[in-house]
Amino acid sequence: MKKFLGIGFWEFIARSILRNRIIILLGITVITVLLAIQWKNIRFTQTEANLIPADDKVNVDYNSFLKVFGEEGNLVVVATKDPKLFTPKVFAEWNNLMNSLQKDKEVSLIISVDNLKKLTKNDSTQSFGLKQLVDHKKIQDPKYLAEIKNELYNKLPFYEGLLYNKRTGAVRSAIYLDKKIINTKARKEYILKTFIPKIETFKKSTGLDVKVSGMPYIRTLNAKTIIDEIGLFIAAALSITSLIFFFFFRSVRSTLTSLFIVIIGVMWSFGILGLLGYEITVLTALVPTLVIVIGIPNCIFLLNKYHQEYKQHGNKAKALQRVITKTGTATLMTNLTTALGFATFIATNNVLLTEFGVVTTINIIAIYVLCILILPIFLSYTSAPTTRHLGHLDRGSLTSFMAWVVRTVKYNKVAVYGVSVLLLVFGIIGIYEIKISGSIIEDMPKKTDFFDDIRFFEKEFDGVMPLEIMIDTKHRKGVMKPSVIKKMEKLEETISEIPELSKPVSVVNLVKYSKQAYYNGNPDYYELPTSQEQAFILSYSKNATKNSKDNLMKSYVDSTGRFARITTFIKDENGEKMEAVEARIREKINILFPKDRFEVVVTGKASVFQKGTKYLLDNLLSSLLMAFGLTALLVAIMFRSLKMVLVSIIPNLLPLLMTAGLMGFLGIPLKPSTILVFGIAFGMSVDDTLRFLAQYRLELARNNWKIKKSVFATFDDAGISMFYTSIVLFFGFSVFMLSSFGGTVALGGLVSLTLFFGMLSNLVLLPSLVLSLNKKLASQQELPEPIIDILEHSDAEVDAVERK
């Protein structure tokens, strides 16, 4: 490693870059063009994020349900509480809207008040038939519509909770999309270009307050918001980082060059996504912005080093050579540790996170290569820096801040440790207050109309997130056995007692409705048939289901009659209670459905997402520990000192605990977006640690192994770069707070906060620990040689190589 990353290696790299400038720029141009060609392969995800491995039992159960009953998330609901619905003009418009939607090839079925059918008894054929509730020839009569409304609310309990809320007067239509298009681009095209325009036209013509929701609708608008925000993030990141860059260096040319570098990096990031065939998801959409946020600090570090070198000796050629020669390994190591923080996501055994980890890791290395190639080449073509350009090195505010840091480390180490212990205790106490959220919609854009609509359906119809129960009777036509129907009713009674769940829907509802129809529609008979009634009422039901097109409950019993399905909806705000809700349901299931006779699966999108959050938490904690371990191993190899490993870990662990504590006290739950904070922040924060320690080792060699003198000399060189890069990272990640997604806002805010804590920790706590723990390393014998000359090289060493 010493030979490979030694001064001779970086001398060769520097010489190769500066002697082959045209070839390198042509090579970068060719690669950029080739990656730009891959943009045509970029696809936007059409499915929800599945956080659980495909072979996990949770996914196996969910897929077995989909195999029997097909895609569950194909329902779009349109609702209103406006009593004007049952007026002639508006009702006719509603009828026209539903008829228009039914004609769309993307729609398979619509159940609405205007086309509602009621079950009637036909004694001549001994069967039940379906009769239209509404006679469309009479809908211009207000009295007739009032009768229809009364019949719906008071005589058709079968549809209560499904199509209307009797208590509030809310009415909705259920629109079932073709299951084949749900996870395709066709679903997005239909919702955005056909469905929404029709709804908007209806709202304008009637003035009715219409609410729309359902998983296909939510997913489409959610994905559209993600796509719209990619451009916002890139523009905001470029703007804020370039302004900070210019403020630091007062050079338009250098600022434009840095922007040029990161823009190429952004182009590469999209090309890599297309090349790997990865979809743009809520996570991979962040990668281009991350490239900007990480690339600008690289440019700052290299340019700041160039200015320091030029200020020292006034030789532009020597300064350019030494930027690469003296800092090559240090910048490589810091970028590797950043990549390592993201690479830990690859080990989560989750496709979404694995792809994010792979793409981000590749792009971090790519932007590092672009910075170390393009920036020196650009500087070689421009004039030498002027006094104005070098003025930032002696800026009063910056030097005052660094002087405060030095005084604190020099005279107040006890206070530093005291504050650190208090912050540690604060973080640990706060951690115990953190809650885990399994909410699907919590991270969705809260300022959008469709989010308000979700809350409407949460309130009026007890949620839009389905929870499914599939019962395998293990016998053909076993579902329609009276004993099985009664068991299902008892299970539904338990579900109805759970306040977080909506009224369940299953074949039980149809059997109850059959008895009501048998007794000429009297709602008092909406109940299961008695043992005496079962034979003749069920015979009517069997004859009624021959017409599969009009079969009301065909989605709740499979074609063989072996599998039954109970659907309920959970209020997403109670997603955190999912585990307790499911445990109560399973307890009843175990009593009613013995495992030797039945196989019952509890699944659905709400259940899968909640379990996915828990799985993600377990895996990312393991990944974070892996990141700590790999970083410790890297430091151990570099410094060959257990104390230096301890010194490198503590300043980066404390900010993470601080952020976790704040999350607990502020009520920010652990969820997929906030879990990512810790791995990202650690990978970014440890960069400053390595920069400081690298410079510290160099200063030891310069100062005859005098620890105090070396520590304080380190601030003169590495301190400014650490401050600059941390400020850029802080504001760079803050751009994510412009998002309308709660999860992205939390990610940006928490990472920025953690990096700010990390900067202070690395500038104050880290040198204090070095002074306290390295007292015994005052002699050169105790400071192993191998890495001193590969992290950052002294002037004498560089001069020796340059003379050769």
Q: How many helices (H) and strands (E) does the chain have?
A: 29, 12
Contact 680, 755 (CB under 8 A): no
Alpha-carbon Rg for the chain, nearest whole angstrom, is 33
Element at 233 (helix H, strand E): helix 215-249
Q: Which of 714, 696, 710 minimizes the C-alpha distance to 647? A: 696
pLDDT tens track for 434-482: 877 766 677 777 777 888 888 888 888 877 678 889 999 998 888 888 8
Angle between helices 672-702 and 642-666 (to 10 degrees): 150
Q: Which two tokens stand for residue 410?
A: 């020099």
Phi, psi of 567 (to 5 degrees): -110, 130
Which three-class secondary structure string do you get for 141-154? Answer: CHHHHHHHHHHHHH
Residue found under tokens 């703007």: 239
- Looking at residue 784, what is its pLDDT? 42
Contact 232, 371 (CB under 8 A): no
Cα–Cα distance list, 269 to 32, 260, 292, 548, 728 (Å): 10, 14, 10, 51, 20
User: Which of the residue ranges 46-50, 532-536, 648-652 would you say has the lowest mean pLDDT?
Assistant: 46-50
Phi, psi of 598 (to 5 degrees): -135, 155
Neighbours of 535 (CB within 10 A): 10
pLDDT tens track for 73-106: 788 999 999 889 999 999 999 999 999 999 999 9
Q: Which residues contact 630 (CB under 8 A, 6 or more apart)?
A: 340
Arithmetic mean of pLDDT, 378-383: 85
- The β-bridge relationship of strands 211-213 and 170-177 is unpaired
Residue found under tokens 């080093």: 305
Angle at 357 between CA 354 and CA 360, to 5 degrees: 145
pLDDT tens track for 387-439: 766 666 666 566 777 788 888 888 888 888 999 999 999 999 988 888 777 66
Q: Which two tokens stand for residue 647?
A: 């010194």
pLDDT tens track for 349-372: 777 888 888 999 999 999 999 999
Phi, psi of 110 (to 5 degrees): -130, 130
Is residue 532 over pLDDT 90? no
Contact 342, 360 (CB under 8 A): yes
- In whole angstroms, give the CA distance from residue 28 to residue 711: 40
Q: Which of 421, 443, 437, 436 minimizes the C-alpha distance to 657? A: 421
Phi, psi of 779 (to 5 degrees): -105, 150
Q: Which residues contact 149 (CB under 8 A, 6 or more apart)?
A: 86
- Looking at residue 394, what is its pLDDT? 61
- In whole angstroms, give the CA distance from residue 441 to residue 454: 9
- In whole angstroms, give the CA distance from residue 153 to residue 690: 70
- In whole angstroms, give the CA distance from residue 690 to residue 687: 5
- Looking at residue 563, what is its pLDDT? 92
DSSP-derived secondary structure letter, 521: T
Contact 421, 650 (CB under 8 A): no
- The β-bridge relationship of strands 170-177 and 107-111 is antiparallel
**Which residues, listed in sequence order, are joined to residue 510 by a DSSP beta bridge?**
none
Contact 41, 130 (CB under 8 A): no
Arithmetic mean of pLDDT, 609-620: 74
Q: Which residues contact 519 (CB under 8 A, 6 or more apart)?
A: 525
pLDDT tens track for 673-707: 777 788 778 877 787 887 788 777 777 777 777 77
Neighbours of 560 (CB within 10 A): 13
Residue 191 carries which side chain, given as an amino acid letter?
Answer: I
* Confidence bin at 541 (pLDDT 50/70/90): low
Residue found under tokens 């409304």: 149
Contact 294, 328 (CB under 8 A): no
Q: SS3 for 280?
A: strand
- In whole angstroms, give the CA distance from residue 245 to residue 645: 32
Residue 533 carries which side chain, given as an amino acid letter?
Answer: E
- In whole angstroms, give the CA distance from residue 386 to residue 310: 10
Q: What is the CA 86 to chain-centroid distance, rounded?
A: 43
pLDDT tens track for 708-757: 888 888 877 777 778 888 888 888 888 888 888 777 888 888 888 888 88
Cα–Cα distance list, 673 to 342, 617, 619, 643 (Å): 14, 11, 14, 34
Element at 110 (helix H, strand E): strand 107-111
Contact 681, 751 (CB under 8 A): yes
- Looking at residue 93, what is its pLDDT? 92
- Looking at residue 788, what is its pLDDT? 38
- In whole angstroms, give the CA distance from residue 609 to residue 621: 18
Q: What is the dihedral of CA 389, 391, 394, 398, to 10 degrees?
A: -80
- In whole angstroms, give the CA distance from residue 494 to residue 587: 10
Is residue 801 over pLDDT 70? no
